Amino acid sequence: MSRYPKKRKERAKIYHFLPTGDYYFHKGLQSYDRFDFINAKKYLQRALELEPLEPMIACQLALVHTETGDYQTSNKLLHMILNELDERMTECYYFLANNYAHMGMYTEAYRYAKLYLEKDGIGEFANEANELIEWIGINEDDNLSALKEQEELLYMQEESKSLLEGGNYAEAVNILEKMIRAYPDFWPAYNNLALAYFYEGETGKAFSLTEKVISHNSGNLHALCNLAVFYYYEQQFEELELLLNQLKKVEPMIPEHRYKLGATFALTKQYEQAYFMLRQLHKSGYPGNAGFYYWLAKSAHFTGNEKFAKSAWDQLVTLEPDKAGSEPWNEALEEDELTRNGDTALMKLLRSEDIPERLIAIFFISVSDRKSALLTHPSFKSIEEFSYPEKLYLATILQVEKRQSIHAKMKMDKAHETAAVLFEKHGDAPDKAFALLKIWFSFFQKMVETGGKFANPPAFAAAVEYVWGKESGRHQTQRDLAKKYGISPATLRKYITKIELYL
């Protein structure tokens, strides 16, 4: 019992703090002033949720979107302010003009800059609006058709980039092919089309188009970076090393070029160069997109900068929450995903409508270190679904039916050895290896169907490469090929005749 029952006991006071829109707005301004646009966007979005009718909050959020390069979202907010919240906020007209100028839509930039001056000729941004109009260089009496055509070109370019980033390669190819027909000197379209071809599996077209750009514009950094990526994925490591040595000497001034080069270094596993370039870009206040933070985090991780890698990844997840859980340091999961994707591609090839391609799939299974798993894959076809040439070849790699007379007579193991010789010599160039194997298994199919006999794998392999060289315009002399495969020129001529007879 208390000694002072009549005395009122003192109680601690609890103050409840309920953040308001104004609180988040000022937090957003503080982040904006520190160039911390990630947090600025987060705080201002929360402020606008709490006070959706406050035009100042919406306007500041629009400015953050401008700083991060998201001009379309910024414009939506600015139009909303003028149309729904406060038409007296005339500065929004100038901000719209500035955004459209960044987007390359100069007629729209001109129109909104003029609108701003008409509504507030002595406003805070009057000088900037006049400078923008002067920089655009449009006069009242100008014919704007040429400028609008340029804007349409830039719009198509942005649309194709968006399709590429979304994995819609066929649609991107359709747009970009139209662009290069209409604008044969617009090299950015060629670069994007080369990427689209490559992602669609048209590697030959991708290389050809990129080489065309470089032949006309030898210093085109985007084309050189694309070529490095192609070399990397096609495992042309000698060419890749030479090109990377050249790229390491480049010191781009434009931030977008620095990002492209840094991302290329990261993709080709040149992590030291990638981290140096991307980290310096980050320090300079480069706003970056999701791709930028992905490569920055990856290069930081593989150079031992774990703390910064996690910080960069957190920024990526803020921009794209679905990336949570796919951190680059989780290598085991990444390898599993690559294996699954490889299996899927192989099973898809096995169901091609083209028999030679299905035979190639069987060959790839035979040389895989996961042969057993692939043969028992849920998507592997039943034996009844295979054609006669496929059944014979499958029996060869499974080492069954050896005692059957047809098997012994045709020497199917020699056919398999021929494919193995081609793969051994050209496996480091997958595109070329596939083309050679396609010729070989087209010949194989017809030999099986006519009861022909296989022999001398090196001679057949040399003959296949000779035929491929003639068809692709990469002709080699019979003497050189005979020496390469350890046979005589006379033997090579004999086997060339055999293959050309069937093809």
DSSP 8-state assignment for residue 138:
-
Grouping H, G, I as helix, E, B as strand and the rest as coil, residue 107 is: helix
Amino acid at 55: P
Looking at residue 377, its pLDDT comes to: 66
Contact 224, 265 (CB under 8 A): no
CA distance to 360, 373, 394, 461, per residue, from 366 (Å): 10, 11, 9, 18
Tokens of 252: 């781009």
| Closest CA relative to residue 331, chosen from 374, 294, 302 | 302
Residue 148: per-residue pLDDT: 62
**Burial of 287 from C-beta contacts in 10 A (0-12 / 13-18 / 19+):** middle
DSSP 386-397: S-HHHHHHHHHH
Pairwise CA distance, residues 200 & 206, whole Å: 10
Q: Which residues contact 265 (CB under 8 A, 6 or more apart)?
A: 244, 247, 271, 273, 274, 277, 299
Contact 354, 385 (CB under 8 A): no
Residue corresponding to tokens 């296949």: 464
pLDDT of the residue at 27: 87
Query: What predicted TM-score, i.e. pTM, was given to this entire model?
Result: 0.46
pLDDT at 341: 52
* Distance, CA of 115 to CA of 90 (rounded, Å): 9
User: For residues 176-214, b (16+ Cβ closer than 10 Å) or e, as one string?
Assistant: beebbeebeebbbbbbbbbbbbbbeebbebbbebbeebb
Q: Each residue's pLDDT tens digit in the chain (503 positions)?
A: 334 344 444 444 444 445 677 888 888 888 888 888 888 888 898 888 888 888 899 999 999 988 887 888 899 999 999 988 888 899 999 999 988 888 777 777 888 888 999 988 788 888 888 888 877 766 554 545 555 666 676 677 777 777 777 677 788 888 889 888 888 888 888 988 998 888 777 888 899 999 999 998 888 899 999 999 988 887 788 898 999 999 999 888 778 888 999 999 998 889 999 999 999 888 877 777 788 898 999 999 889 898 999 999 988 888 777 677 777 776 434 444 434 556 677 777 888 888 888 898 888 888 887 776 677 666 676 666 778 888 888 877 776 444 344 444 457 788 889 999 998 888 777 878 888 999 999 988 888 888 778 888 999 999 999 988 888 767 678 888 888 889 998 898 899 888 888 77
pLDDT for the residue numbered 33: 85
